[in-house]
Amino acid sequence: MEITVKSGQILHESKIYYTGETLEVTDDAGKLLIARGLAETEKEAAEQERSMEDMTVKELASYAAEHGIQLLTGSKKKADLIAAIRAAESGQIGEAAEGNSGADSNDGPVTEMPEE
C-alpha cells in the first residue's frame, strides 16, 4: 500500500519519511498508520489537495476558522494559506503559519513502523 505521511515523521526501513512524503508499506501497517492519523492514501491526499486548490482565499480563511486554525495576518496568498492550514493540520504550525511552507523543517516526533 502506498501512503503519504500526514503528520510528523515515520521511520521505515532505516529511513525517515517527513510530512508530505510517500512510502510503500504493507496493508496492515498502512491501515494502522491511517487509523492513528499519521498517514493517508495517495488518493485521499490528492483529493484533499484538489479541494483546497479549488477554494478561494476567503473560503480557505473560513475553513481555517471552522477547524480552529489561527492564521497570521501576514500573507493573503492562496498558496501561503494552504501551506499554513496543512502545517497546522499536521502539527507543524511554526513557520508555515507565517507563510513559509516549512518544507525543510525536520523537527517533530518520529513514529517507527509497527512490527509486522
Could you read off the pLDDT of 56-88 as tens digits, one per residue? 888 888 888 877 888 876 667 888 888 888 888
Task: Decide: residue 35, CB within 10 A, 0-12 exposed, 13-18 middle, 19+ buried.
Answer: exposed
Percent of the chain predicted with pLDDT > 70: 73
| pLDDT recorded at residue 24 | 93
Give residue 106's Cα distance to chain centre. Answer: 13
Query: How many residues in total does the chain contain?
Result: 116
Amino acid at 42: E
Give the chain's end-to-end CA distance (angstroms, integer): 14
| pLDDT recorded at residue 111 | 66
Q: What is the pTM of this model?
A: 0.49
- Domains, the chain: 1-46 (3.40.5), 55-100 (no CATH)
Split at pLDDT 50, 70, 90, the class of 25 is: very high
Q: For 83-111, what is each residue's pLDDT tens digit?
A: 888 888 776 554 334 444 444 444 456 66
| pLDDT recorded at residue 66 | 79
